[in-house]
Amino acid sequence: MYDYRKLFDLTGKKALVVGAGSGIGEAAAHGLAAHGAHVLCGDLNLEGAQKVVDDIKNAGGSAEAIPFDMRDGAAVTKTFDGLADLDVLVSTPAINVRKELLNMSEEEFDRVMTLNLKGTFRLITAAGRNMKARGKGSIITFASIRALTVEPGQGVYAATKAGVLQMCRTLAAELGPHGVRVNAIGPGVVDTPLTAPIAANKDWYSAYANKSALGRWAKPHEMAGAVVYLASDAGSFATGTLTIVDGGWTAVDGRFTPPL
């Protein structure tokens, strides 16, 4: 009989979380470590990553910090050359330039594309090669509800997130026969450093909160459950998916409650 108590057990697994120094990446690192994984906390901000490592160790988990810049192709290749035994990859970093498309410069377009789309491509393909050779592994990227629905000023960001989702679906199809799963998570509005400029605007913050069915923003730790699910045996038959964690944002039609 299958031991259901081990559904979320990650004991003995090695996971790399890119962007682990803050926000959703930090929460993902904590979630994976809490379920037994040894977590490599990769970030440009090595000091931030080290603090997360210290917190994980203080909680009884296992982790180490590594410098990581997903914009540097050679550095990404070098890192993954030393990670032949990687079981889980979680890619979280993204940037946004909020501008109408007619006002977006090519430099701004390239900056968002280079990190969000090309950087993610580097990570998932490098991890995919290693996992294909081992015949197992789980790749998890963070897309967004913006992969499905947009608003003014989000065109380039939304395009990258839709691209991330489609790359994941394609890689899932290509690596499925080799025992490797590839999935994306689609958060709604999460209280992180990326969304801090919105949170500083009271009306904007409230409008986003009121759009969701739960009437609030998410906290980073609320994304960790989806990560652990997709990394563990609990998600062993999930691949090519977009797991939406948006408080009902994409389920609720419009921002107006009709008089009933």
The helix, strand and coil proportions of the chain, stated in percent and rounded to the nearest 5, come to 50, 15, 35
Catalytic residue from among 2, 157, 205, 208: 157
Alpha-carbon 137 to chain mean position: 16
What's the CA gap between 144 and 117, in Å, rounded? 13
Rounded CA gap, 105 and 126, in Å? Answer: 30
157 labelled catalytic: yes
Burial of 44 per CB tally in 10 Å (0-12, 13-18, 19+): middle
**What are the strands, taking DSSP E only, across the chain?**
14-18, 38-43, 62-67, 88-91, 137-142, 180-187, 242-245
- Type of residue numbered 197: P
* Helical packing angle, 46-58 and 23-34, nearest 10°: 30
DSSP state of 219: P
Number of H helices, E strands in the chain: 9, 7
User: Which region holds residue 191: left if phi is over 0, alpha if psi is between -120 and 50, else beta?
Assistant: beta
What are the catalytic residues? 157
